[in-house]
């Protein structure tokens, strides 16, 4: 078959197929999983990833996977599911990769013993459906709780997420800030409405939550110093309009026969920009913001009339200002009416660290918030931003879906127990596959215990005993990572939204089934060479298949570890 494939395809085409190909893909995925596995849990380790002149210190699974720049086609699937988990729910990015790796590890033993991949895939999908159904039955709905109890639930979910981050020592501080920020968004609950700004310097506890908008002072021309920096009950005009004189050579070519005509063209241009500025000044706006440049002429003009202006605003900042103040973005200076102007109770420009920031606060109908992160090292601030993003996503999802489950590996242990009991009621090969799916779920509490410095086997046996003997009261027992023992996760407020676990189980199962269903890879090394240059075979050696790609990943892994 491989000889026939080589005859049908271009010269140099490599075709790998059969059981060996599936096992090769699994080995490549295992090499990737071994990197992120040690980051799981509150005692997980961080990774320092160097890219050129920049370095990243993180234990966020999605960030680590993205920074690795994995090229192996099968291992790239793990990157995709981690990214999807991060975009969908914000947390569980490491768990989904670890579970996928464990499912593939169990499948590898079946393949080596002669069981075909379709049977494994069928069993995995059956087990996943059973686990999701049991997960929904176990979830505790806090919908009927009071507003104070719901807020406490959201804070605890955010704290569980932040437990494993670099900012874990300040988890309560950031959890409360995340809940307050999402609460300000109204019914929309769009995370993009929460702006995160970073300023080096100060303490982490100097981090601010602004009920409204703040952004770094934009580039300004001469005359900016004379503008007022504070307004109460300010009227705000948002523009997508350039207020700057352009040199004639940049805009058009004009041919003249009389030198006096040139002056008339210049005068016309000045008249046009002055007409725009007069219309803006007459609109009654105190603050003028534009996505495009506001030149030195306009800056001085506004300063003479006690109007604040800022140009070259970021699109995200302009959109959040619109949400906060109720203003409408204008693309022309004609027809500006009071109805398109926004308002805020207080506008001021303040010094934050070494930077100047513009603040729009006390907005009556605000649907946005801004978090101003402070800290010493830039790497710490960057990691705090990633941690806050995960926390905001979790709070947002928990507000939409108020069902929660116990964390710390408790839900995985209970699902594992349930699937083992179900496997005893059936016969045939599916019994074995479902039983090993249940065993794969135990990788989460096992990894949590090992990363905490505990005896993983001992902790796992204690959890099995609790879940088997204690009945409904023991179903929430999980790993106590701080004390290296077991505890009731629900009583200790280690809560996670059910959506995180549901998404992780579905994504991990689908990824494992997808990798197991690939039994052949056809690769043409010629396609990897640069298109330019003379035709012909290059001198570099091409990869001989996915197995060699896996070995390259393994060597790369060693560098990062």
For the question of residue 390 being annotated catalytic, the response is yes
Whether 85 contacts 507, CB under 8 Å: yes
What lies within 8 Å, CB to CB, of 550 at 6+ separation is: 24, 25, 27, 28, 31, 72, 75
Whether 344 contacts 363, CB under 8 Å: yes
The one catalytic residue in 39, 58, 94, 100 is: 94
Q: Give the CA distances from residue 219 to residues 295, 314, 471, in Å, rounded to whole numbers and listed in that order.
A: 10, 11, 65
The one catalytic residue in 14, 91, 382, 390 is: 390
Structure tokens of 235? 């009227």
The one catalytic residue in 14, 60, 317, 480 is: 60
| DSSP strands (E only) in 96-159 | 140-141
| Element containing residue 414 per DSSP (H, E) | helix 410-423
Give the closest residue to 177 by CA, choosing from 199, 204, 137. Answer: 204
| DSSP strands (E only) in 338-410 | 342-352, 355-361, 369-375, 403-406
The one catalytic residue in 39, 93, 160, 207 is: 93
* 127 Cα distance to chain centroid: 29
Q: DSSP code of 40?
A: -
Whether 98 contacts 40, CB under 8 Å: yes
For the question of residue 93 being annotated catalytic, the response is yes
Q: What is the DSSP string of 240-303?
A: ---BS---HHHH-----SSHHHHHHHHHHHHHHHHHHHHHHHHTT-SEEEESS-B-HHHHHHHH
List the catalytic residues: 60, 93-94, 390
């Amino acid at each position: 078959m491989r000889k026939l494939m080589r005859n049908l395809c271009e010269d140099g085409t490599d075709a790998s197929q059969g059981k060996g190909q599936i096992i090769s893909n699994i080995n490549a995925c295992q090499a990737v999983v071994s990197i992120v596995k040690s980051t799981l849990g509150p005692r997980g380790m961080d990774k320092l990833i160097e890219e050129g002149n920049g370095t990243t210190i993180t234990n966020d699974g999605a960030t680590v996977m993205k920074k690795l720049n994995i090229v192996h086609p099968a291992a790239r699937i793990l990157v995709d599911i981690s990214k999807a988990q991060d975009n969908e729910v914000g947390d569980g990015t490491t768990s989904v990769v670890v579970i996928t790796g464990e499912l593939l590890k169990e499948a590898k033993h079946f393949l080596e013993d002669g069981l075909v991949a379709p049977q494994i895939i069928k069993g995995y999908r059956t087990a996943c459906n059973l686990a999701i159904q049991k997960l929904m039955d176990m979830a505790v709905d806090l919908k009927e709780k009071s507003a104070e109890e719901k807020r406490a639930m959201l804070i605890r979910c955010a704290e569980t997420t932040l437990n494993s981050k670099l900012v874990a020592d300040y988890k309560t501080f950031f959890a409360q800030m995340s809940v307050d920020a999402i609460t300000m968004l109204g019914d929309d609950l769009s995370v993009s409405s929460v702006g995160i700004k970073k300023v080096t310097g100060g303490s982490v506890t100097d981090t601010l939550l602004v009920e409204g908008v703040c952004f770094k002072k934009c580039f300004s021309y001469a005359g900016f110093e004379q503008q007022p920096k504070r307004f109460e009950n300010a009227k705000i005009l948002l523009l997508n309009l350039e207020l700057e004189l352009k040199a004639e050579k940049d805009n058009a070519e004009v041919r003249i026969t009389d030198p006096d005509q040139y002056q008339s063209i210049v005068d016309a241009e000045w008249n046009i920009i002055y007409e725009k500025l007069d219309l803006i000044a007459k609109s009654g706006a105190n603050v003028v913001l534009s996505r495009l440049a506001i030149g030195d002429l306009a800056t001085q003009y506004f300063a003479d009339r006690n109007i604040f202006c800022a140009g070259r605003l970021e699109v995200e900042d302009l959109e959040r200002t619109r949400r906060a103040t109720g203003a409408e973005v204008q693309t022309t200076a004609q027809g500006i009416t009071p109805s398109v102007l926004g308002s805020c109770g207080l506008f001021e420009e303040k010094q934050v660290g070494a930077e100047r920031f513009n603040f729009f606060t006390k907005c009556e109908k605000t649907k946005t918030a801004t978090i101003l992160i402070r800290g010493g090292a830039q790497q710490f601030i960057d990691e705090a931003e990633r941690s806050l993003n995960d926390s905001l996503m979790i709070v947002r999802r928990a507000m939409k879906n108020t069902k929660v489950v116990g964390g710390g590996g408790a839900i995985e242990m209970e699902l594992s127990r349930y699937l083992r009991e179900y496997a005893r009621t059936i016969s045939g090969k599916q019994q074995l596959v479902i039983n090993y799916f249940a065993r794969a779920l135990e990788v989460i509490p096992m990894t949590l215990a090992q990363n905490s410095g505990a005896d993983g086997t001992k902790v796992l046996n204690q959890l099995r005993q609790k879940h088997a003997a204690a009945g409904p009261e023991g179903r929430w027992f999980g790993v106590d990572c701080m004390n290296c023992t077991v505890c009731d996760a629900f009583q200790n407020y280690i809560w996670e939204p059910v959506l995180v676990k549901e998404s992780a189980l579905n994504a991990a199962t689908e990824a494992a089934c997808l990798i197991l269903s690939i039994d052949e890879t056809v690769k043409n090394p010629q396609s990897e060479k640069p298109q330019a240059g003379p035709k012909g075979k290059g001198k570099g050696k091409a990869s001989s298949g996915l197995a060699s790609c896996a070995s390259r990943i393994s060597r790369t892994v060693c560098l990062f570890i």
